[in-house]
Amino acid sequence: MASDSRPQPLTAGSPRVVVAGATGFAGALAAHLLWRHPGFELLAVTGRSQVGRRLDDLYPRYRVPLEIQELDLDRLGEIDAAVVAYPHAAAAPTVGELREHGARVVDLSADFRLGSLSAYEQWYGAHPRPDLMAEAVYGLTELHRSRIAGAAIVANPGCYPTASLLALAPLARAGLIADLVIDAKQGISGAGRVFDETTHLSIAGENIVPYKVAAHRHTPEIEEQLALAAGGEARGADTLAVQFQAHLVPLDEGELVSCYVTPTRTVAGSELRELYADAYAGEPFVEVVEEPPGVREVRETNYCRVFAAADQHTGKIIAFGALDNLWKGTSSQAVQNLNVMFGAPETAGLA
């Protein structure tokens, strides 16, 4: 069993953080990263199951020696921040309770990712706390860093949108996307701990399976953020309709998106290289690479690798993004956002 001591000493007055929903993959990894973080104090890990069990018993490799408890904000006392790792619709009420106690929140669900209430209702149904939507900032750090710094609620992006938007943002900002198809592939950890008919190992092994065909809920998230990157409105009349298709592949974790772009004009390879180099110069966690990336290159890191090429035969642009869906796609990105929110070095606990 793990020792109760942290590997690094906490700084005086470190923000006190709770991970709500620590029994799932994303919450457990967030707890792991925060337990070892030099600038935060992980006060508690909570869950709706496994209460009384230590997290390092449930997830031995993370070695977080805290007992899982029910979320009781009055008993926990003063909390500066929380990572909420609940499913959509279940997260928003807890986010509201945390805000009433003065905590700043990074929410891993989809509850606050969309700026448009009508878009949320179209894809997810009734919103449980629409009154909180105005407080939320979309948490793709590389696109919204300055707003995240002062945010009360940060809506951590979905893993597919993170890879897709980092691969496509330079093109969107330059007004180069006329039409877009995203072919996305992810390991089975993206489905969480509960297996269903699409994630059973007998189907996932030695196979590739498309899922949520023509109905994936990450589609409006990508559309909104590309519209904003291009200088438009989140749900304007000219919002680009994105064709997004996800696939399950026989990996534990990892994600690759291949984006096929019909540009608004002819783009040379040299212009693409300059565009991406300028867009991500100085970004600590986005690597513009010279060859198409693979998921092994970014496994268990907060890095996203991007690459773009111009196809002179078809006139299209092909852009790739590779990341670890549990890390940069979810939990380590949440810690990156916490770093920005509390004025810590952005790479603290991650590099």
Q: Write out the catalytic residue numbers.
A: 159
31-68: b (≥16 Cβ within 10 Å) or e: bbbbbbbebbbbbbbbbeebeeebbbebbeebebbbeb
Tokens for 113?
Answer: 């990712």
Helix ranges (H only) for the chain are 25-35, 55-58, 73-76, 91-100, 117-124, 141-149, 159-173, 201-204, 218-229, 269-279, 332-341
Residue 66: strand, helix, or coil: coil
Q: Are 306 and 290 in contact (CB under 8 A)?
A: no
**3-state SS of the chain: helix, strand, coil percent to 5?**
35, 20, 45
CA-based max dimension of the chain? 64
The Cα 96–Cα 100 span in angstroms is 6
Question: Nearest to residue 137, comparing CAs of 127, 150, 120, 119?
Answer: 150
